């Protein structure tokens, strides 16, 4: 069951069940979960921290590194989904809403290939 066949709600249930089975809900408050995302993003950054822009392509060919990177990304995703669940946020709606706002802020014809 890969990304083409898995809904966001199914992933949220996976994380929620894990938390519920351990009765970890008291720890999963929004402050702690936002910290958890930042901490895991930090661990993900570690894999690229000292690489120059032109060296980044090599990472993808290093399967040992990629396995670690997948795990770090999964950690961020898990906390993100737990945060959404705790706060009653629908991730898909929030993302669609934000991307529409971004599209107004950055019209494609004006920002092609640049940010400013």
Residues of span 35-54 touching its own copies by CB under 8 A:
35-39, 41-54
Q: Does 68 bind its own copies (CB under 8 A)?
A: no
Backbone dihedral angles phi then psi of residue 83, each to the nearest 5 degrees: -60, -50
Among 63, 64, 82, 106, binds its own copies (CB under 8 A): 106
Interface positions, 16-35, toward its own copies (CB under 8 A): 18, 21-24, 26-27, 29-32, 34-35
Q: What is the DSSP string of 45-74?
A: HHTTTT--GGGGGGGGG-HHHHHHHHHHHH
Q: Does 96 bind its own copies (CB under 8 A)?
A: yes
Among 61, 68, 92, 105, binds its own copies (CB under 8 A): 92
**Quick one: DSSP state of residue 106?**
S
Q: Does 82 bind its own copies (CB under 8 A)?
A: no
Residues 6+ away with beta carbon under 8 Å from 86 = 28, 29, 30, 33
Q: How far is the CB of 64 from its own copies (least distance, A)?
A: 13
On whether the CB atoms of residues 15 and 78 are closer than 8 A, the answer is yes
Q: Does 104 bind its own copies (CB under 8 A)?
A: no
């Amino acid at each position: 069951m890969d990304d083409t066949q898995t809904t966001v709600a199914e992933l949220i249930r996976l994380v929620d069940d894990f938390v519920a089975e351990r009765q970890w809900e008291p720890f999963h408050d929004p402050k702690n979960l936002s910290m958890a995302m930042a901490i895991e993003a930090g661990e993900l950054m570690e894999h690229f921290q000292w690489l120059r822009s032109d060296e980044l392509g090599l990472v993808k060919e290093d399967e040992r590194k990629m396995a670690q990177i997948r795990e770090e990304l999964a950690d961020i995703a898990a906390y993100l989904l737990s945060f959404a669940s705790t706060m009653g946020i629908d991730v898909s709606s929030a993302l669609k809403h934000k991307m529409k706002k971004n599209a107004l802020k950055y019209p494609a014809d004006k920002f092609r290939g640049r940010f400013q």
